[in-house]
Amino acid sequence: MKILEKILSAKTFLCLQLIATIVCLFFMVRVKFLPAKYIILVAVVLVFMLLLTFLLQLRAKETSIRAIFSRMLAILMCVMLVMATVFVRSGYNYISGFADADREINVMSVIVLNESGYKKIDDLKNKKIGLNNQVDKENIVKAKNDVNKKVKASYKVFDNFVDLANNLYNKKTDAILINEAFRGLIEEEYEMFSDETSVIYQMEISRKTENLANTGGIDDGVFNVCITGIDTTGPVSTVSRSDVNMIMTVNMNTHKIILTSIPRDYYVTLASHNAKDKLTHSGIYGVNETVKTLENLLDIKIDYYVRINFTSLIKIVDVLGGVDVESDRELHLGNITIQKGMNHMDGEMALAYSRERHSYEEGDRHRIQNQQDVILAIIQKLKNPNILFNYQELLQKIDGTFETNISSAEIAELIQMQLSKMENFAMERQYLDGKGVMTTGLYSMPNSKLYTMIPDQDTVDAASKAIKELEEQ
């Protein structure tokens, strides 16, 4: 009985409140979301509540109203502190889920013509499968070994994707085995390829990649982020073409941002292959290839990357409650109508607006501007203090929609910086331009004649200069 009385004594509840206070403050300091001034304010409030609980117990009998009230206050504070600790901790865990990205997924597919009648991998017994192992040999070998475990088939090797597809359509092979990252290359020759074929078997190959993040790059408040949008739905870590390419230069000290867009068809030198190709094709060799290629193009250092896909954009915009974007004309995109002037866009509308180019004489040039409109609208919405203070709910809903090689600690540092100053950012935008031509001899498709944009070096130099000037401010 005496042991129970000690356990239920007012002092015990005071000790529990003290422990909960220490643990909560420990996690607040550790995750580094809140600026020091906010943590000090929270600490003062929590110490005051501890002192109040203590004063209520001072010289009070265990069964007195004061002592009972002190217990109730201590319980209430413990519950609130535990909830706050879980809130902070779980938010940090969500950030860890998309930060420090260092893996990529290659999706390998066995593809057949719809008219072939083949429905499953077993149907290819003693049939012929075509493959191209010239540019993706390691993954093709792994996929081939996996297929061999499922069915006994023969293989025919091609040295380019056009011949690979031609032989499938000409029925000289019964199926083809490709990395889904290269599907877009075939679609540049056969526009209806995805409609005329089916995937009857698929496997994923995950591999660790080199993390090129400039760890600590955020410390001085000036950094470059490569925003790359891949042309897939599903897992954002899937290797695919980089259809959206932007460099966001941030100066937290002067509160300025420059958003630089580079056309997807820009004729560039692939960094790791020292060969000419379209910028969008850099993504099929991994996000690091895109980053390095853009670094060389603009003669800058890119500190981090953020990768999103089409699924990501829809979910992010919807979670934010939509974004406000101004269109310079009325657009009818399927069942979506965009009015001339300001539009409050949901995810589907924002995606349609970001992808549209046929409605404009400028084509891809105007699409780039639209993509910047959407990105800047998202950034504008994220600067709202209500979004920052409800970050846990936001992160929970967009979990898996994007990834970055920025570390968890550095993301927390960014949140802390913004909460500390709550400054608005002046945003500038710039675009690289060029001349559209048909080009033969691209690294990824050497035998095809494809549309490319030859860089206007003046726009490249001007963009590079603007970025460097902002970095030095």
Q: What is the pTM of this model?
A: 0.82
41-46-48 Cα angle (round to 5): 95
Per-residue pLDDT, 393? 67
Q: Is 177 within 8 Å of 151 (Cβ atoms)?
A: no
Q: Is 385 within 8 Å of 424 (Cβ atoms)?
A: no
- Token pair listed for 352: 């349609």
Sign of CA dihedral 383, 386, 387, 391: positive
Sign of CA dihedral 268, 307, 186, 148: positive
Alpha-carbon span 462 to 17, nearest angstrom? 59
DSSP code at position 215: T
- Token pair listed for 357: 């180019």
pLDDT digits (tens, 9 = 90+) for 230-274: 766 667 788 888 888 999 999 988 989 999 999 999 999 999 999
- Token pair listed for 304: 């981090």
- For the chain, list residues with pLDDT below 70: 1-8, 231-234, 311, 384-393, 395, 397
Calculate the CA 15 to chain-centre distance.
44
Per-residue pLDDT, 296? 97
DSSP code at position 464: H
Alpha-carbon span 94 to 415, nearest angstrom? 14
Alpha-carbon span 364 to 128, nearest angstrom? 40
- Token pair listed for 368: 């780039």
User: To which H or E segment does residue 351 belong?
Assistant: helix 347-355
Cβ atoms within 10 Å, residue 31 = 19
- Token pair listed for 259: 């958003």
pLDDT digits (tens, 9 = 90+) for 418-452: 777 777 788 899 999 999 999 999 999 888 899 99
Listing DSSP states for 265-304 in one string gives: TBEEEETTTTEEEEHHHHGGG-HHHHHHHHHHHHT----E
- Token pair listed for 149: 């475990």
Per-residue pLDDT, 402? 80
Cβ atoms within 10 Å, residue 148 = 11
Q: Which residues contact 131 (CB under 8 A, 6 or more apart)?
A: 140, 144, 155, 156, 157, 158, 164, 176, 177, 178
Alpha-carbon span 422 to 63, nearest angstrom? 49
Listing DSSP states for 95-146 in one string gives: HHHHSS--EEEEEEEEEEEGGG---SGGGGTT-EEEEE-SSSHHHHHHHHHH
The backbone torsions φ and ψ at residue 7, rounded to the nearest 5 degrees and listed phi first, read: -65, -40
Per-residue pLDDT, 1? 45
Per-residue pLDDT, 243? 87
Which amino acid would we find at residue 354?
Answer: S
Q: Is 77 within 8 Å of 16 (Cβ atoms)?
A: no
Listing DSSP states for 37-103 in one string gives: HHHHHHHHHHHHHHHHHHHHHTT--TTSHHHHHHHHHHHHHHHHHHHHHHHHHHHHHHHHHHSS--E
Per-residue pLDDT, 389? 61
Per-residue pLDDT, 28? 84
